[in-house]
């Protein structure tokens, strides 16, 4: 039954919306200007992990969108929506984005406002690429916070850019178009705080139970992390 609903939800991407690939120097304008859809094995795996369950609490850090609300609540789950990137912009956007994040007082205010939930609140979290825009001290604090607010056995989906030569990467609104299909809308460009290879990702989530990687053709690493 669950799988059938997946199939219904998985609509093929429109023909004209060919997936664009951000290139090494970010010169591919399609990825930076268009709304485009791409297949996501990580997303597919994320929902496969939750298969058969209803009434779960899912955290979505991409901000509220009709697509994500419909897709997740159709499975009978509760959705908690928070636009982490917008909150980051609001707290650290004036001036040097990453230098501001190293300001302990600002970082503390940010953490008081964001990702602030009771312990073991969520069964799943869609982090998208938000962790890339956190400077190291704040990143570590955010991951510790995530570990606290996720239930044991909960799953997280995170995305990391694999192209270490890119000066900036496109920041997207992530919209779920179907199980395993994402519709990405460009919201800006930003240099990530740091690039992560597999080893760095494993180190970041070392206190979690497992980390599973999905390499994509568009220079992304999709990661499923189990609490």
Enumerate binding residues for another protein (CB under 8 A). 63-66, 69, 73, 76, 78-83, 86
Smaller CB distance to another protein: residue 69 or 193? 69
Distance of alpha carbon 126 from alpha carbon 157, whole angstroms: 5
Smaller CB distance to another protein: residue 65 or 101? 65
Q: What's the closest the beta carbon of residue 55 comes to another protein, in angstroms?
A: 10
Smaller CB distance to another protein: residue 60 or 132? 60
Q: What's the closest the beta carbon of residue 137 comes to another protein, in angstroms?
A: 24
Q: What's the closest the beta carbon of residue 2 comes to another protein, in angstroms?
A: 16
Q: What's the closest the beta carbon of residue 217 comes to another protein, in angstroms?
A: 28
Q: What's the closest the beta carbon of residue 189 comes to another protein, in angstroms?
A: 19
Smaller CB distance to another protein: residue 115 or 201? 115
Smaller CB distance to another protein: residue 79 or 201? 79
């Amino acid at each position: 039954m669950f799988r059938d609903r997946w199939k219904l939800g998985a609509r093929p991407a429109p023909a004209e919306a060919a997936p664009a690939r951000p290139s090494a120097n970010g010169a591919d304008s399609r990825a930076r200007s268009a709304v485009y859809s791409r297949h996501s094995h990580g997303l597919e795996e994320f929902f496969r992990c939750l298969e058969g369950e209803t009434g779960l609490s899912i955290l979505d850090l991409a901000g509220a969108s009709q697509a994500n609300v419909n897709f997740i609540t159709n499975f009978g789950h509760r959705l908690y929506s928070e636009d982490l990137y917008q909150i980051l912009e609001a707290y650290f956007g004036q001036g040097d984005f990453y230098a501001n994040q190293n300001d302990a007082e600002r970082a503390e205010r940010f953490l008081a406002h964001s990702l602030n939930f009771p312990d073991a609140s969520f069964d799943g979290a869609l982090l998208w690429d938000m962790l890339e825009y956190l400077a190291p001290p704040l990143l570590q604090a955010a991951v510790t916070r995530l570990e606290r607010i996720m239930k044991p056995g909960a799953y997280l989906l995170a995305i990391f850019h694999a192209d270490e030569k890119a000066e900036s990467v496109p920041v997207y609104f992530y919209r779920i178009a179907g199980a395993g299909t994402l519709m990405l809308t460009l919201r800006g460009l930003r240099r990530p705080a740091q690039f992560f290879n597999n080893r760095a990702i494993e180190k970041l989530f070392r206190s979690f139970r497992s980390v599973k990687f999905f390499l994509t053709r568009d220079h992304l690493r999709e990661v499923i992390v189990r609490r």
